[in-house]
């Protein structure tokens, strides 16, 4: 490997959304820093199977208003 061109590879602490922590090696941040996750396998719908519909900008309300008269 060439010297001086590779990022520093050091140990950091990763904090999951439920508060659990683990240590890993990374090039992120500085040695000893903590990386706080916003989404992880314990909270993301792709892994948990629990999906929530978020109404952003009234799109869900618009859809429900347009198709509320249909019978299935």
CA distances from 4 to 9, 10, 31, 39, 54 (A): 13, 15, 18, 34, 47
CA distances from 48 to 36, 39, 40, 42 (A): 20, 12, 10, 7
Question: pTM for the full model?
Answer: 0.59
pLDDT in tens, 11-29: 999 999 999 999 999 999 9
| 72 vs 21: CA distance, rounded Å | 47
Answer with the residue of higher pLDDT: 28 or 41: 28
């Amino acid at each position: 490997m060439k010297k001086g061109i590779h990022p520093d590879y050091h140990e950091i602490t990763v904090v999951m959304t439920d508060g659990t922590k683990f240590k890993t090696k990374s090039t992120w941040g500085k040695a000893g820093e903590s990386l706080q996750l916003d989404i992880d396998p314990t909270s993301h719908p792709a892994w948990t199977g629990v999906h929530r519909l978020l109404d952003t900008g009234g799109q869900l309300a618009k859809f429900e208003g347009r198709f509320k008269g249909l019978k299935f």
